[in-house]
Amino acid sequence: MANEVTYNEDNIRSLDWKEHMRLRPGMYIGKTGDGSSQDDGIYILVKEVIDNCIDEFVMGYGKKVDIKVEEKKVTVRDYGRGIPLGKVVDAVSKINTGGKYDSKAFKKSVGLNGVGTKAVNALSIYFKVEAVREGKKKVAIFEQGNLIEERDEKTTEPNGTYIEFVPDDIIFKKYKFIPDYLENQIWNYAHLNCGLTVNYNGQKFLSKEGLKDLLLRKTDANTIRYPVIHFKSEDIEFALVHDNHYGEEYYSYVNGQHTVQGGTHLNAFKEALVKTMREFYGKNFDSQDIRASIVGAVSIRMQDPIFESQTKTKLGSNNLDEKTSMRVFIGDYVKKHLDNFLHRHPEISEKLLKKIQQSERERKDMAGVKKIAKERAKKANLHNKKLRDCRFHFSDKKNIRHLDTTVFITEGDSASGSITKARDVETQAVFSLKGKPLNTYSLKKKVVYENEEFNLLQHALNIEEGLEELRYNNVVIATDADVDGMHIRLLLLTFFLQFFPDLVKEGHVKILETPLFRVRDKKQTFYCYSEEERKKAVASLRGKPEITRFKGLGEISPDEFEDFIGENIRLSPVILGNDNSIEDILGYYMGKNTPQRQEFIIDNLKVEKDIEEELIG
């Protein structure tokens, strides 16, 4: 064979710890990303450092943590015991080294594998660690995991550990921190560690009632059906309330770690809620009716938790310890406390019963429509002309590329045609709308099944029964940057917020940023996403460059589109702030107050207007 590939001793390589982490970062921090998703690697780096501070607090050392994030630099200072000075360098650069292998020192810790801060070190262009113990300080500075400087000092600073790092933009291309994601991350730490004060960029984060505070922050006080139910003991805490939203919403934690994908503890919690309520009311309610519109949270602490990945997003432990199963431990605790609570508070148990009965009526009312819609969707799925699917899907968690899976929702044949030709068929799908979708504001969920386009969309995403089997990690709205495109964007967001709010809350819904201009001469071409970028491009070229204004996605050729949805893709996440009520947002943008909606659209198109005036001038 002419092109035979050789395989001998020269092909076998031994990598040191930092080389392996830089070559395969996904094994340690999940995906790298640019910061536009809340599970992108830069937030995992922040988490790994803060986790160590939390472990100190849990063990009874240090009641505050100071965090600063300035553009690309992150600093974290705790006031715990400080890393033992003789082991500072090893603790952040020697794999499988750490105090948490000694269960006496850290009984119920998150960072048990000795990898966390080493990954932060290896994946940072600059990394500094300082440990202070009884008037002595050890300082070590690294670049991409390589030790640059090491020194000992005397100090009057209080005990503790200081970490400063700048993520490497070779690994995390064009990244930026989104404050909303960081604040949400920090609030989680505050809620799970009552009494801990976290100072972040001058703002104080403190929680007195743990998961109760979490649910109060995540819900609207005007729409919850009864006061938040909350119980807490040494190793378990849970809270629940019913709202008026569609679907179910849960927050689960193990040793202070947010298990975004749930796991055995969340499954046991959901099962316990259903069982307890059925027994209390003496009626075999459908589990869907009990859990419809629920907002729940559960947190446990345990030794040696088993997670399904290095990023610890899903708990796999079936047992709390050698004697107790997870299911029995959580089931017994929820049964005892929730049952007693409902007996002692008949006014709340009555409100809860009415909510369950309302959900039962609504489910039965929709049963006929759902059956017809499912049959219609099943036939359409055999040859769904609206969907150009990809090979891999988000629900296949074992596939290394599941986090890259994306579906672009477009309008019109020209736009969907360009994206379809330019996409990566392994991970990128295209769903094509025909004209403007229906305005679903204030409509009942029946419309999702009665409207063929929305019915096909929910089946394409596979979100009818929740997000557990969601087929794409990124649900990207790709519309033109004009009035019609902005309106379509609002209509789609209304659909998702009204009927599938968790899809937005969990960071899956994003907006595709496409260039407004192409600026070029005979030698160079620049694609510009803003007026500032256009001016910069024009200034960098000699003479009078050719400037093309892209009016719609259909005007961008597939060859050009390939770059915009490839490695250099720009996505803007749709972030729902905790102080924003979905009902108020939808009423503002999609209700009868059309002047405000027109003002919003005009404000978002101001760049285009200014540019056209300048070009004409």
* pLDDT value of residue 607: 43
* pLDDT value of residue 580: 60
* pLDDT value of residue 476: 96
Distance CA 540, CA 476 (A): 32
Residue written as token pair 């905790």: 578
Distance CA 174, CA 243 (A): 39
pLDDT tens figures, 276-298:
999 999 999 999 999 999 999 99
Distance CA 29, CA 311 (A): 6
Provide the sign of the torsion angle of the four alpha carbons 529, 530, 536, 539, taken in this order: positive
| Percent of the chain whose pLDDT exceeds 90 | 51
Asked if residue 492 lies in contact with residue 458, where contact means CB atoms within 8 angstroms, the answer is no
Question: Which superfamily does CATH assign the domain made up of 17-205 to?
Answer: Histidine kinase-like ATPase, C-terminal domain (3.30.565.10)
* Range 65-93 average pLDDT: 95
Return the amino acid letter for 340: N
* pLDDT value of residue 210: 95
* Range 74-81 average pLDDT: 97
The dihedral formed by the CA atoms of 355, 359, 360 and 365, expressed in degrees to the nearest 10:
140
* pLDDT value of residue 377: 61
Distance CA 263, CA 271 (A): 12
More confident residue, 89 or 564: 89
What 3-state class would DSSP assign to 32? coil
Question: Taking the domain 384-514+550-616, which CATH number applies?
Answer: 3.40.50.670
Question: Taking the domain 211-363, which CATH number applies?
Answer: 3.30.230.10
* pLDDT value of residue 594: 60
Return the amino acid letter for 475: V
pLDDT tens figures, 509-538:
999 988 888 899 988 888 888 888 999 999
Distance CA 222, CA 245 (A): 12
* Range 97-113 average pLDDT: 51
Lowest mean pLDDT among 23-37, 89-103, 548-562: 89-103
Residue spans per domain, the chain: 17-205, 211-363, 384-514+550-616
The overall average pLDDT reported for the chain is 86
- Is the pTM higher than 0.85? The answer reads no
HSE, CB side, 13 Å, CA atoms: give it for residue 487.
10
* Range 253-281 average pLDDT: 94
* Range 471-488 average pLDDT: 88
Asked if residue 466 lies in contact with residue 458, where contact means CB atoms within 8 angstroms, the answer is no
Two tokens, residue 255? 């040793």
